[in-house]
Structures are given as C-alpha cells and as structure tokens.
Amino acid sequence: MDLPFIEWSPELATGIDWQDKQHQALLSSFFKLHQAIEGRKSRKQVANTLEFLEKYVEIHFAEEEKQMRQSGYPDLERHVKEHSYFTNRLDKLRAMTTDTKKLLLGIRLHQDLYTWIINHIKVSDKKLAEHLPR
C-alpha cells in the first residue's frame, strides 16, 4: 500500500517551542501508524494512535486556544472551528473501532492525520505563530 507520508522538517516548525514539540509528538504517532499499516499490523497501533490523539487534542488544542485568547488572535474563531472539526472527525473514527474495520480505520485515520498536518500545521498554526510572542 502506498500511503502518503510526511516527516518533521523545518517547513513545519512554527518557532514556538511548546507547539513544535507537540507537533513532533503528533508526527511520531503518525509515523508509527504509517509503519503499522504498511506492515499490515495496524490493529494495536490504531488503538494506540486513537488513544494518543484523544489526549493530544485535549492538551494541544486547549493550549493553542488559551494562547490565542490571551494574545487577542484575530482569527481565533476560524482556528477553533478547525480544532472542532478534527475533534468531531476523531469521534467518528473512534466509533468505527470494531475488529473487522481496523485496517480501514487505520487508513482513514492516516489520511485524516496527513491532511491535518498539511493543512492545519503548515497553514493555520504557522499563521498563529506569526501572531504569538516568542
């Protein structure tokens, strides 16, 4: 299976230390999921990735939203909507966790993470980083 993959690179860095470290942890989880799918061993890793993401969205999104509110970020509403969309998508994927659907779930989760990394981190989070004090 030839799934798209993305690794940490300087173009993903926002220059905000806590944010970059959390994004790197997200990419590490994405890498493990990618390897598991490619090796057709995704059952356990799908569960691990979902567990990681549930904690990640709670901690990471809360910190970003706190920083946006404190700094008066003008694009707060749109950015929070992106967070809500991803959280809702994660909830829908979690509902698919029957054993017969693990590979399909893994692939969908992989696609969603890839799209999230490309669209949210590279665009929205970089825009936010330009606004936040360093």
Q: Tell me the pTM.
A: 0.78
- pLDDT tens string 60-93: 999 999 999 999 999 999 999 999 998 988 887 7
* pLDDT at 112 > cutoff 80: yes
In DSSP notation, the chain reads: ---------GGG--S-HHHHHHHHHHHHHHHHHHHHHHTT-HHHHHHHHHHHHHHHHHHHHHHHHHHHHHHT-TTHHHHHHHHHHHHHHHHHHHTT--GGGHHHHHHHHHHHHHHHIIIIIIIIIHHHHHHS--
